[in-house]
């Protein structure tokens, strides 16, 4: 785990008058190691001994500080990941069968095309575009394999 990441998360928490506790540090490590957005049950599964109420509370503090963000899937469960400016710009593929959310890191050519399309749409609306996200909806590999040919 990069010390720079932890230093930045601590800075963000301090700016909101919060401390970077061992529990919050552990949650950041879980989110980094996952490589995709996690539901609270998935966070708890990867963080034995962390009470559910603490996980909710600490993830909310991380979100409020701008160190993490909530990602919606195709079900009622919110998912959490580190803020994009800490981990790099990416998009999501959402399985409509099992609700798994997978990170997708775009190719530079794709990103340039998306930025141009967003700028054109913003221009037509008189809207200053500051970023974009794309969610691809479909069926993940595991769900496709479970159905068979």
Task: Give yes or no for a contact between 38 and 32, defined as CB atoms under 8 angstroms apart.
Answer: no
Q: In what order do the strands lie in the sheet with 38-39?
A: 38-39, 78-82, 68-72
Tokens of 31: 């989110």
Domains held by the chain: number: 2
Task: Give yes or no for a contact between 89 and 133, defined as CB atoms under 8 angstroms apart.
Answer: no
Looking at the fold, whether 9 and 80 belong to one and the same domain comes out as: yes
pLDDT of residue 75: 85
pLDDT of residue 1: 47
Task: Give yes or no for a contact between 79 and 13, defined as CB atoms under 8 angstroms apart.
Answer: no
- Whole domain around residue 68: which residue ranges? 1-88
Q: How many helices (H) and strands (E) does the chain have?
A: 7, 6
Distance CA 36, CA 39 (A): 10
CATH of the domain at 133: 3.30.1490.190
What backbone phi and psi angles, to 5 degrees, belong to 133? -140, 145
Looking at the fold, whether 78 and 93 belong to one and the same domain comes out as: no
Residues in the chain where the model's pLDDT stays below 70: 1-2, 148-149
Residues 38-72 pLDDT 10s: 999 999 999 988 889 999 999 999 999 999 999 98
Domain boundary among 72, 88, 104: 88
What pTM was estimated for this model as a whole? 0.82
Looking at the fold, whether 100 and 149 belong to one and the same domain comes out as: yes
Looking at the fold, whether 69 and 98 belong to one and the same domain comes out as: no
The half-sphere exposure of 134 on its side-chain side, counting CA atoms within 13 A, is 15
């Amino acid at each position: 785990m990069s010390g720079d990441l932890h230093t930045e998360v601590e800075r963000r928490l301090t700016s909101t008058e919060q401390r970077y506790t061992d529990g919050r540090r552990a949650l950041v490590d879980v989110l980094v190691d996952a490589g995709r957005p996690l539901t609270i049950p998935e966070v708890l599964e990867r963080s034995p001994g962390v009470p559910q109420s603490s996980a909710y509370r600490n993830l909310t503090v991380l979100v409020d500080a701008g160190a993490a963000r909530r990602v919606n899937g195709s079900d009622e469960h919110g998912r959490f990941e580190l803020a994009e400016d800490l981990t790099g710009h990416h998009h999501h593929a959402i399985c409509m069968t099992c609700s798994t959310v997978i990170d997708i890191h775009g190719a530079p050519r794709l990103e340039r095309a998306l930025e141009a399309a967003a700028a054109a749409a913003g221009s037509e609306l008189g809207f200053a575009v500051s970023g974009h996200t794309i969610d691809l909806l479909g069926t993940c590999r595991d769900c496709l394999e479970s159905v068979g040919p």
